Structure 1
């Protein structure tokens, strides 16, 4: 543990040039007293490290000296692919290993390449969740990740769309999609794996049983096919709608690519008021009702009639709810005696 910290201290100084004891302590999550002891140990080992007092002081290595002790540990090598995703890495419980890995990779680069790498880190940031959510709160994520890595079965209580169920899963992998974690897992008696949303796991018990991973299983390939199947199953019907210019612009912000493409392909020329008529795919009357309500008075449903009637009933209810009320009228339609 201490040897790893001493190496990390060297990597930090090699990457940043000069750092104070307080800065080093913060980065390494130790006390400044520990940093002082570590510096003395490095001095004793012959590392050309010196410190300067004062406001602009700090520790630094003698100019031109670079350590070649940048070998990766087995754990760091395993987490290499997560180096560009510090947020998800931390959620999986790998944050410390990834941070150490980034330090070592930076220290191993020649100065000119290290500068370019630092510039990328300063100027590009990957934020995986969407605008309206911070992603899943998945208390069992690290346990699922451990089971994936060790190839061990897990017994879970899972909240499915039909209710709570008990399952023994064989997790083949983890996928982060739109800020949400899914495990792709097999199950005894079921043909082929399925996707399970990790934050719907209500309880989890590790089963100390190794399962046979399917030969040649391709997680990215399976997931791509799963997404295509999911999208194809979403749209079971069509709706004919009229859209104002503003409604069409708004639709591009809230609708799927499939709906946007359908409008572009089927919309006729705009009328004198700028409205167009188009045919869009819908998942169900309930989903379409909720989605189209977001466009307000900038969309009119022409067909199917059942969807038009639902929206008309909602509009009538909103009109009644927000209509001007006589003085003394209370919410809920009650007038005091």
Structure 2
């Protein structure tokens, strides 16, 4: 048998709760006693609480309630773990290699019927997501380790591709995956406050010898959402936006991260009221709503309708220029 098979067999034998000597284990499994010692060491290293008592009545025994804990997963639990690994890998989970090994181990030590069941369900699930690059994965691994051990990091960060970077010391409280991007939330020593940073904009990262303690009950996820979503109580100007359209179109808009958190009232299947910041109506919102074309109607405010007109004309002029250039090239070829 392989070492893994021997370890699992020893685990089952110790599961009785009785003390068993190394020689008894070796005789039962028909292996050398030295193999037993190596397997026991590996089990202890993996976290199994095995104690050894010397003397005439000595032997190995599992400590506490570990013997009562489930050692195997049922079919639904196995499928759930495999499906969860698909989501995690596509999102750029920092411990992807370890996750793949764990799933491979799960499949390797299941029976043929369960393995076929797992594979059939695995083929029925797919996730479309732009995965994190190798460099970003290393940054995420470093940040996750630093957050877990309460260790500050030195970081060079650029807010955009064309902007100069700035150096700072960061106490990473946790990493968050949101809308296809990874963020790190923590205390920024440069600004003297808790802030969030996009991981893909980190240019340099290295752990320090400094330690910190994360505030009790602090949630990196809640902080990130509060920093990204508009706050009606703090915003300078809030505007009511009333949209009308096909039910399925409005349903899709209501799922959007900005609109979904700004709903005031749903007036039947074909009309919704939102409360949005005025600045967003001049910048982001018009371009987003244009993608729905004539299936959507803006009832108010007038300023958003005017801005939609301006944006539409800008796009029209842009492609009109492109069209003229293409016509000119075609004529030159002729």
TM tier, smaller: 0.5 to 0.7
CA contact (8 A) 2:173 2:220 kept: no
Residue 289 of structure 1 and its aligned partner are, at CA, apart by: 0.7
1:197 is aligned to 2:228: no
- CA deviations over 1:88-144 (Å, ceiling 9, x no partner): 47842463377359848996x9x9xx9889957863799897x4x324331422222
CA contact (8 A) 2:239 2:275 kept: yes
Residue 293 of structure 1 and its aligned partner are, at CA, apart by: 0.6
User: What is residue 141 of structure 1 aligned with on the other side?
Assistant: 140
1:95 is aligned to 2:97: yes
Structure 2 SS opposite 1:265: strand
Q: Which runs of 5+ in 1 are unaligned?
A: 15-41, 49-66, 78-82, 270-275, 324-328
1:265 is aligned to 2:256: no
Mapping for residues 70-89 of structure 1, pairs under 5 Å: 71=43, 73=45, 85-86=84-85, 88=88
Give the TM-score normalised by the residue count of structure 2: 0.56
Give the TM-score normalised by the residue count of structure 1: 0.56
Residue 158 of structure 1 and its aligned partner are, at CA, apart by: 0.9
1:297 is aligned to 2:281: no
Partners of 1:310 and 1:203 lie apart in 2 by: 40
Residue 264 of structure 1 and its aligned partner are, at CA, apart by: 8.2
User: What is residue 228 of structure 2 aligned with on the other side?
Assistant: 230
- CA spacing shift, 1:258–1:314, aligned 2, 3 Å: closer
Q: Which runs of 5+ in 2 are unaligned?
A: 11-25, 33-38, 50-80
CA contact (8 A) 2:245 2:271 kept: no
Superposition RMSD in Å: 5.2
CA contact (8 A) 1:242 1:300 kept: yes
User: What is residue 273 of structure 2 aligned with on the other side?
Assistant: 279
Partners of 1:179 and 1:13 lie apart in 2 by: 43
User: What is residue 206 of structure 1 aligned with on the other side?
Assistant: 207
Partners of 2:197 and 2:116 lie apart in 1 by: 37
CA contact (8 A) 1:171 1:184 kept: yes
- CA spacing shift, 1:239–1:47, aligned 2, 3 Å: farther
Structure 2 SS opposite 1:71: helix
Partners of 1:73 and 1:121 lie apart in 2 by: 31
- CA deviations over 1:144-192 (Å, ceiling 9, x no partner): 2232334322111112267532211122222333443222222336555
Residue 309 of structure 1 and its aligned partner are, at CA, apart by: 1.6
Number of aligned residue pairs: give it. Answer: 260
